Structure 1
Amino acid sequence: MKRGLKTFARAVQDGNTDGAEEMLEKIVQGNMKDRVWKGYHKALKGIIEGLNSDNDLTLPKQIADDNFSLEKLEKLRIEMDERSSQKFRPENEHGYSAAWSDVLQVIIEDAKEE
């Protein structure tokens, strides 16, 4: 797991955009290819934008408002995980989907611990 990702995901879950923004730059690339990392980073930035949106129907706001069951979150995580490994998708999309899968994994793990 990327350093800082747990704190980022927990900030998203709490609707804490300042905390998520602070952690965004601390999340390190690790061993990803440059194009994959760009997609990963873009997804994290998009999650923050979703929290900042006036639209209450964005996925990040729905997560922060606890409007998704554990089962729905797990289904979405699996879908994103599968998308991140599909060969026909471009590398930046692999990263984008991997970021969502990673964030959802932290949220699911936290929910199971409660």
Structure 2
Amino acid sequence: MKRNMKTFARAVRKGNKSKAEKIFEKVVQGNMKEETWEGYCRALRGIIEGLNSNNDLTLPKQIAENNLSLEKLEKLQIEMEEMSSQEFRPENEHGYTAAWSDVLQVIVEDAKEE
């Protein structure tokens, strides 16, 4: 998992858009291919935009408003993790789904601790 991802995911869970935006720049690339990293960044930006949206049905807003069960969050995390490892998908999609998997993993872990 990328450095600062826990802080980013917790900001999303709390609906703290400004903190998510600030920490976004601190999420470190690590050892990803360039195309994978581009997809990863696109997902994180999309999550922030989802929090900023007027649409209450975006996944980030549903997470922030605690409208999803732990079981649903776990299922989404597993699906994203599986998609990120499928070889037939393009590299940028691997990054996109890996970012979602990482965010959801932190959110699920935090929810289980409560």
Q: Aligning the two structures, in what range does the TM-score lie when normalised by the shorter sequence? A: over 0.9
Once residues 108 and 79 of structure 2 are traced to their aligned partners in structure 1, the CA distance between those partners, rounded to angstroms, is 14
Give 1:1-114 correspondences, 5 Å limit. 1-114=1-114
Give the superposition deviation at 1:5.
Answer: 0.4
Once residues 109 and 30 of structure 1 are traced to their aligned partners in structure 2, the CA distance between those partners, rounded to angstroms, is 22
* SS of equivalent residue, structure 1 residue 86: coil
Give the superposition deviation at 1:106.
Answer: 0.2
Give the superposition deviation at 1:66.
Answer: 0.2
Unaligned runs of 5+ in 2: none
Unaligned runs of 5+ in 1: none
Percentage of pairs with the same residue: 75
Once residues 99 and 84 of structure 1 are traced to their aligned partners in structure 2, the CA distance between those partners, rounded to angstroms, is 9
Give the superposition deviation at 1:86.
Answer: 0.6
* SS of equivalent residue, structure 2 residue 21: helix
Give the superposition deviation at 1:47.
Answer: 0.1
* SS of equivalent residue, structure 2 residue 20: helix
Name the amino acid aligned to 2:59: L
Paired residues in the alignment total: 114
**Taking structure 2 as the reference length, what is the TM-score of the superposition?**
0.99
Once residues 80 and 23 of structure 2 are traced to their aligned partners in structure 1, the CA distance between those partners, rounded to angstroms, is 22
Once residues 103 and 86 of structure 2 are traced to their aligned partners in structure 1, the CA distance between those partners, rounded to angstroms, is 19
Once residues 113 and 75 of structure 2 are traced to their aligned partners in structure 1, the CA distance between those partners, rounded to angstroms, is 18
* SS of equivalent residue, structure 1 residue 75: helix
Once residues 63 and 35 of structure 1 are traced to their aligned partners in structure 2, the CA distance between those partners, rounded to angstroms, is 27
